[in-house]
Amino acid sequence: MDERTSKEKGDLLEEIVKNLCSGFEHSKVTRDVKMEGKSGIERQIDVLIEARHKSFDIKIIVEAKNYSKKVGVEKVESLKTKLIDVGGNLGVIVCPLGFTKGALNVATLHDIQLFQVFDHKLGNTTEFIPLRYIVPSMKNFSLQIEHGSSGGGTFELPTDTKKWRFHIGDKIFDQYELLAYAWNQEMFPQDEGEQVVDFGVVKISTVEDSKIFFYLEFKANVFIYCDFYLKLFPASFMRNVKSGRGNHQLFIDAYSKKEDMLKNGWQCFDTKEEMETAAAVHDTSKDIKGLTTIASYTIEVN
């Protein structure tokens, strides 16, 4: 039995709705707003979304109704009156239990949007969204040089590649710094397997003497390894009653270290196939399937 007061239920739904709407770009979302209408009456707005579309300011008025029954006609008509009074551009009513047939008809007549909201805190969904998170990294590499021409003096390239120095613009890199530079510049796909970085003609010197150099056509074969992670996030979404489309909100956490990922509920898999097999069991959402994100990060170059 739910022992929360009507106010506590209302506050909970308003907070959920605010969070679900907060992901919209170029918008400001505020709860429990007091606004004086053209009538001179102070109007209470559960959730106000203020946005700018091109050269126009947009106000969306959202009413959150955490009722124990469906919302009826009178709430739709009340929102239409409030919308006109405060100069809102769009009116929205959200109710977990849905709406009566009369409310649906009147909402269509007045162009009011109706949504059902689902969230674990409301107790009306047990759905989880599986998120796949792929972290690529360079495992090892090999260097490949082709014909070139001398840039100054007698030049002998050491067999030890750690002594090579690569001149890119006004910077000089060792082999590790050069690959980090290529990674940061997205010069090769960060997909698992062997990738080729073609640097073209590069000025190369040695650690002993940077004034004697050589121009070489230079490539690197980089071997990319991926960690495949999976985590289940509790579903929180609003579904448009008319169109059936859902708007989900996932508060994703990710960490730079593997131990921190595991500590915070992520599972790690050796292969993409293993991750997909584990995710398929929970990939049941009507709105989101195959949700995947790939880590994007910069390798520090001294």
DSSP for 220-261, written as a single string: EEEEEEEEEEEEEEE-EEEEETTT--EEE-------SSHHHH
In terms of domains, do 294 and 277 share one? yes
In terms of domains, do 135 and 57 share one? no
**Among candidate residues 19, 81, 90, the one with its CA nearest the CA of residue 61:** 90
Residue 3: what pLDDT?
A: 66
pLDDT at 186 over 90: yes
Residue 107: what pLDDT?
A: 96
CA–CA distance, 92 with 14 (Å, rounded to integer): 13
Higher pLDDT, 185 or 211: 185
Residues in a beta bridge with 153: none
Residue finishing a domain among 53, 87, 122: 122
**Among candidate residues 263, 258, 254, the one with its CA nearest the CA of residue 296:** 254
Higher pLDDT, 250 or 203: 203
Confidence class of residue 43 from pLDDT cuts 50, 70 and 90? very high
Residues 6+ apart with CB under 8 A from 185: none
Q: What is the mean pLDDT of residues 34-47?
A: 94
CA–CA distance, 41 with 24 (Å, rounded to integer): 30
Q: How many CB atoms lie within 10 A of CB 292?
A: 15
In terms of domains, do 170 and 299 share one? yes
Best-predicted range by mean pLDDT (22-31, 229-238, 284-293): 229-238
- Which pTM value belongs to this model? 0.79
pLDDT at 294 over 90: yes
In terms of domains, do 15 and 138 share one? no
The answer as to whether 82 is a domain residue is yes
In terms of domains, do 57 and 152 share one? no
Report how many helices (DSSP H) and strands (DSSP E) the chain contains, helices first: 6, 14
**The total number of structural domains that make up the chain:** 2
Q: Sign of the CA dihedral 264, 128, 249, 134?
A: positive
CA–CA distance, 71 with 115 (Å, rounded to integer): 11
Q: What is the mean pLDDT of residues 40-46?
A: 95
Residue 148: what pLDDT?
A: 58
Residue 229: what pLDDT?
A: 98
CA–CA distance, 244 with 168 (Å, rounded to integer): 54
In terms of domains, do 187 and 53 share one? no
Residue 137: what pLDDT?
A: 94
pLDDT at 154 over 70: no
In terms of domains, do 100 and 198 share one? no
**Among candidate residues 235, 236, 284, 234, the one with its CA nearest the CA of residue 94:** 236
CA–CA distance, 29 with 164 (Å, rounded to integer): 55
Residue 168: both structure tokens together:
């890119």
87: left (phi over 0), alpha (psi -120 to 50) or beta: left
CA–CA distance, 79 with 280 (Å, rounded to integer): 42
Buried b (16+ CB within 10 A) or exposed e, 49-61: bebeeeeeeebbb
The answer as to whether 1 is a domain residue is no
Residue finishing a domain among 92, 122, 152: 122
CATH of residue 72: 3.40.1350.10
In terms of domains, do 147 and 213 share one? yes
Residue 107: both structure tokens together:
């909402």
pLDDT at 211 over 70: yes
Best-predicted range by mean pLDDT (19-23, 86-90, 214-218): 86-90
pLDDT at 166 over 90: yes
Residues 6+ apart with CB under 8 A from 153: 211, 212
Confidence class of residue 152 from pLDDT cuts 50, 70 and 90? low
CA–CA distance, 159 with 13 (Å, rounded to integer): 68
Residue finishing a domain among 122, 147, 182: 122
In terms of domains, do 71 and 143 share one? no
Which domain covers residue 109, as residue numbers?
A: 6-122
